[in-house]
Amino acid sequence: MRLRQKVLFLAITPLILALCAIALAVWHQSELLAQQQRSTIQQAYLSSKEAELKHYVTLAQHSIAHLYDAGRDDPAAREEAKRILSSLSYGDDGYFFVYDMQGNSLMHPRQPELVGRNLYDLRDEQGQPTIQKLLQRAREGGGLQRYMWIKPSTHKPVAKLGYVVPLPRWGWMLGTGIYLDDVEQALAKVDVQQSGNIHNTMLWIALIAIAAAVVVASSGVALNISELRVADAKLKVLAQRVVESQEEERARLSRDLHDGISQWLVSIKLQIEAGMIRLSSGQPGQTEAAQAVFEHAADQLSNVMGEVRRISHNLRPAILDDLGLAAALKHLGQEYTHSSGTPVQFEASGATDGLSDVANTVLFRLAQEALTNIGRHAAAGRIEITLHGEADGVTLCIRDDGKGFDAEGIALHPQRGIGLRNMMERMDAIGGRFSIESGSTGTVLTAFAANDS
């Protein structure tokens, strides 16, 4: 394989793999969010249906209250009550039904052929005893019950949500129900829309991958390599620098974005959706609850903006370029003292301005990582940072009086010690030396970087 082909292969393959990983992560998160949104919408629909059913049954009870509450129990009063209830309806398939407690159908305006029949043993397509469950709910004092029933307008079995109440003095069960096929249709539309959005997102990622691969391939073809050895050496150096810098900054940005901004944004999105659902419910008290949700989301947005400012500052501290490493480390210690309350003493000696820009950045990042680890794990009461310049290089020493840790064990652990390994890799990249000693009295970190010759 020629050098040009190697370059193309090494450039395109990681890019495609990274985009595939991103596509998989986006698809997985989209599926999770789609399921959560569907569940939320379904719950909102059913809650509105339940409230609607209770309201209908209450109205039906009021319509015969002048007969039932008067204490009448004669056949004429019962027939009049059945006549009133049979005349009540709502929507295309909304009606009321009456059964006695033995399962005999006494009134059914949409299916009069059932009147006079005993349906106690009636079972649906799944073998569930429909009337028995409704009667059991009525004996318990009334409530909601889901079951299958023939929808009058379509003559097909459909899931139905019923609400029944007992009329104990007459030995009746009064109820009504709402067919749930419209809920399923609405949820099906949501599913189709979500699937379309996910498909479009995957299509865009695929187009971006193709475009990126074409750009990389075109750039590779445009390379004019005159000498194999020189080009190979340059590519190795360039690849090493690019990979090192990219991986270091990607790892830091990934942690910052995932641990902070990403989680906050997901939380804000869910809160806004919850507030919108509460506003659309129209129930008393939901407006105030939605306002509280939106206010909390606004507070979290302020936190997100602060986190963005912090990340942008950490990407490249201006003081490091303007005033040098010593001033930048002193400022870093002052910021840490202000934010954590732990005093940081800084001392610089000798000539510390002979390092290259890369070495200055590495030592500064090393100090940042060390202070972060001390704040998270050491519980230190005092921190000392010393920077000493000599003829051959600069030594950075960070000492704390914290509780210490097993440095060797954590460095070898596959899932821990990421910050410690990052420090070692940074120093290896510039040809420096790194050591750390830790015990019950504290931890001492030492790093040496050679001057730029």
pLDDT along the chain (453 residues), means of 10: 62 76 80 78 78 89 88 87 89 87 92 90 88 92 89 84 92 90 75 79 81 73 56 54 58 68 78 80 74 80 75 66 85 88 91 86 88 86 92 92 79 62 82 88 91 75
- The whole-number pLDDT of residue 238 equals 42
Whole-Å CA distances, 179 to 104, 126, 152 = 22, 17, 10
- The whole-number pLDDT of residue 245 equals 52
| Tokens matching residue 149 | 């029933």
- Compute φ and ψ for 147, nearest 5 degrees: -160, 175
Reference 219, options 1, 6, 7, 3; nearest CA is 7
For residues 96 and 165, the answer to whether their CB atoms sit within 8 Å is no
CA distance 397 to 447: 7
- The whole-number pLDDT of residue 244 equals 62
User: Boundaries of CATH 3.30.565.10 in the chain?
Assistant: 319-450
Strand, helix or coil for residue 79: helix
CATH tag, 319-450? 3.30.565.10
For residues 157 and 122, the answer to whether their CB atoms sit within 8 Å is no
Homologous superfamily of the 88-179 domain (CATH):
PAS domain (3.30.450.20)
- The whole-number pLDDT of residue 343 equals 92
For residues 226 and 4, the answer to whether their CB atoms sit within 8 Å is no
CA distance 134 to 147: 9
- The whole-number pLDDT of residue 242 equals 44
Strand, helix or coil for residue 158: strand
- The whole-number pLDDT of residue 188 equals 76
User: Boundaries of CATH 3.30.450.20 in the chain?
Assistant: 88-179
